[in-house]
Amino acid sequence: MTGAADLLVRGGVVATPGGRMRADIACRGGRIVAIGDLGQACAAATVVEAAGLHVLPGVIDSQVHFREPGLTHKETIGAGTRGAVLGGVTTVFEMPNTSPPTLTAADLEAKLAIAARDAWCDHAFYIGGAAANAGDLARLELLPGCAGVKVFMGSSFGDLLADDEAVLRRILASGRRRMAVHAEDEARLRARRAIAEAAGDVRLHPVWRDPESALIATRRIVGLAAEAGRLLHVLHVSTAEEMAFLAGHKPRVSVEVTPHHLTLDAPDCYERLGSLAQMNPPVREAAHREGLWRAVREGVVDVLGSDHAPHSRAEKARPYPSSPSGMTGVQTLLPVMLDHVAAGRLSLERLVDLAAAGPARVFGIAGKGRIAVGFDADLVLVDLKARRRIADADIASLAGWTPYDGLTVTGWPVATVLRGQVVMREGEVIGAPRGQPVRFLDVPVSPSAPA
């Protein structure tokens, strides 16, 4: 290495693409410039001592709902990304179901403008795929800062709901980037809603939104995407049957799973948490959870996403099924999954792939997802032996709660580095928001975009 570094992370166990190694990492100009035994002579403006810690690539959470604009009593881009860096997340993809929904170039620009001022981490925003903009999606998906197209086959309303087959075909035909989808069958959900209304009991949530509701929609969209020759990303898969089906459609179809579907199970979570455990698709019985873990072990799953989707406690307190579905998750994604590593359910290497390298590979993110020379210096330093208690009081989200309140986990993020700048140390954010739009390999770089 020649020249001084801006940042030197010294003496940690580094998770590189070639395996773990004790090494120093030198960063300059926002990127990694050297990895190895760089010695005491390596000059750097800032030195972070990482002895006793593991250094992982910054987490890429490709499914968050930050509610801004329009629903800022629940969350904001500023609060959501603050929680992200507190949890070791350095990149987020935000969903289009805001008010107004993200359907046009102007909608996307409005979010990017807010993020330029308030975002603590790097970011991209999905465009919603809908009847209203189906013919324009091929252009919209290539705008700088766009994560791609997101389609709601169920669990949405107004312009964002796309459950009609003709509309789905138009959306799939317009564009070439991998399309993300929420796959629940809207017709079946409407037909079965009476189950939830008659019971008025959140424990019936996974009965109303049964496994067949998810499987019907997943089979349908996979078939339509194959006809269109379109790459597909199925979000928050929740059933063992879907995983068995999706295993036969790799790699054209990529698969996401969430920490809550891997950690919680019915009926226990509903009895303990009530509507705080209410999500779409639902947290299901332990047999489905084990089916998801099997898919993780067998390589069917590509990506971990939090599906961070906060609501206020007052909203969650409404009588079921009027209570909204969603929970916080971006800040707890890594601690919860590190606890699974400590319990032996997955290796640290597999976690790194699911939480960093996998999203970068699936979505074609430029310069992120691995610790390697030339890549963005996005890092999270974790203490694999630390035992910490997750608490509502520490959650940065405006919602102010987590379904994991009171859970003691083993493994904790102690520092977050974004493009060579320390933005979190020991539970405190540092400096000012400095997030930038994500660059994608298949999206033309605008003249004003950072190199």
Going by C-alpha positions, the residue among 235, 57, 220, 261 that lies closest to residue 147 is: 235
Q: What pLDDT is recorded for position 442?
A: 84
The rounded distance, in Å, linking the Cα atoms of 301 and 247 is: 9
Q: What pLDDT is recorded for position 443?
A: 82
Average pLDDT over residues 284-298: 98
Instruction: Say which residue the tokens 């590190």 belong to.
Output: 338
Q: In the chain, what is the greatest distance between 2 CA atoms, to the nearest angstrom?
A: 71
DSSP summary character for residue 106: H
Q: Mean of the per-residue pLDDT values for the chain?
A: 96
pLDDT (tens digit per residue) in 87-117: 999 999 999 999 999 999 999 999 999 999 9
Q: 162 or 182: whose pLDDT is higher? A: 182
> What proportion of the chain, given as a percentage, has pLDDT over 70?
98
Q: What pLDDT is recorded for position 433?
A: 98
Q: Decide which of 3.40.50.2300, 3.20.20.140, 1.10.760.10, 3.50.50.60 is the CATH code for 58-363.
A: 3.20.20.140
Confidence of residue 1 (pLDDT cuts 50, 70, 90): low
Q: Provide the Cα torsion 406, 409, 54, 9; round to 10°.
A: 10
Q: Please check whether residue 85 is in contact with residue 416, taking contact to mean a CB–CB distance below 8 angstroms.
A: yes
Q: What pLDDT is recorded for position 17?
A: 92
Confidence of residue 410 (pLDDT cuts 50, 70, 90): very high
Q: Which two tokens stand for residue 180?
A: 């993300």
Q: Please check whether residue 14 is in contact with residue 21, taking contact to mean a CB–CB distance below 8 angstroms.
A: yes
Q: What are the Cα distances from residue 322, in Å, to 43, 161, 197? A: 59, 19, 9
SS3 call for 389: strand
Q: What pLDDT is recorded for position 39?
A: 81
- Provide the strand spans (E) within 346-439: 379-389, 408-418, 421-425, 428-429
Confidence of residue 154 (pLDDT cuts 50, 70, 90): confident
Q: Which two tokens stand for residue 208?
A: 């109303």
Q: Which fold has domain 5-55+373-386+406-429?
A: Urease, subunit C; domain 1 (2.30.40)
Q: Is 5-55+373-386+406-429's fold the same as 58-363's?
A: no
Domain boundaries, the chain: 5-55+373-386+406-429, 58-363
Active site residues: 307
pLDDT at 373 over 70: yes
Q: What pLDDT is recorded for position 451?
A: 46
